[in-house]
Amino acid sequence: MSALQADPLNRNPNGLELVSVATYTRLVGASIERVWENVLDWEHLPHLHDTSFSFSELDEAGAWGWRCWSDAEHVGHIELCVMSDRYVARTYSHGKQFSEIWTGLRSQGDATAVEVEFLVADVAADQVDGMGQIYRDVYQQLWDEDEAMMRERQRRLDERRSADAQVVLGTEAAVAQRLPFRFQWRRQEFELIERDSQLLAVPTICPHLLGPLATDLTNPDVLSCPWHGYQFDRRSGDCLSPVGARCRLPAAPVLSIRDGMVVAGA
Q: Where are the domains of the chain?
A: 18-158, 166-265
What pLDDT is stored for residue 159 in this prediction? 96
Q: What is the pLDDT of residue 141?
A: 98
pLDDT value of residue 71: 97
Chain-centroid distance, C-alpha 191? 22
**What rounded mean pLDDT belongs to the chain?**
97
Residue range 18-158, CATH number: 3.30.530.20
Instruction: For residue range 146-204, list pLDDT tens digits in order.
Output: 999 999 999 999 999 999 999 999 999 999 999 999 999 999 999 999 999 999 999 99
The pLDDT value given to residue 75: 97
Record: fold of 166-265 = Rieske Iron-sulfur Protein (2.102.10)
Closest CA to 166 of 182, 178, 184: 184
CA distance 210 to 212: 7
Q: What is the 3-class SS of 9-36, one letter each residue?
A: CCCCCCCCCEEEEEEEEEEECCCHHHHH
Contact 213, 204 (CB under 8 A): yes
Q: Which amino acid belongs to residue 103?
A: T
Percent of the chain scored above 70 by pLDDT? 100
Look at residue 1 and tell me whether its pLDDT is greater than 90.
no
The mean pLDDT value for 43-47 works out to 98
